[in-house]
Amino acid sequence: MREKVVGIVWRALAIVGVIAIGAPALSQEAARPKERNPNEIVCERIEVIGTRLGARKVCGTRAEWAEKRKLDREAVDNAQRSANGPCQTVNTHTGAAAC
């Protein structure tokens, strides 16, 4: 009787081992992104700040969205770089720079 239980346990461990070895390969295949067509049109809802009802639907190709993200990232980088300069121009009511 004990030999039968030990045999079942060893079989179960062998099955779990086979599954554990094959699982990473399956998850890597599933995680691999598909080739996306840069000319495919994608639409996104853009929330308008200051209103609860002002969402707009904006459509563009994947290439256009990628270019927009790149330009936005560059604008943020430039703003952060220039914020560390010796004097920042602050718009005041008189129009003079405040340092």
Please tell me whether residues 52 and 69 are part of one structural domain. Answer: yes
The number of distinct structural domains making up the chain is 2
H/E run at residue 88:
none
Q: What is the mean pLDDT of the chain?
A: 75
* Consecutive H or E run containing 37: none
Q: Tell me the pLDDT tens digit for each residue of 1-42.
A: 666 655 666 676 567 565 666 656 555 666 666 788 989 999
Coil/strand/helix, residue 33: coil
User: Is the full-model pTM beyond 0.75?
Assistant: no
**Domain for residue 25, yes or no?**
yes
CA 62 to chain centre: 14
Q: Which of 17-26, 47-56, 61-70 has the lowest mean pLDDT?
A: 17-26
Cα–Cα distance list, 60 to 47, 63, 89 (Å): 16, 8, 35
26 and 46 housed in the same domain: no
Range of the domain at 68: 36-85
Query: According to the model, what pLDDT value does residue 95 have?
Result: 56
Band of pLDDT at residue 69, cut at 50, 70 and 90: very high
Alpha-carbon distance of 92 to 7, in angstroms, equals: 83
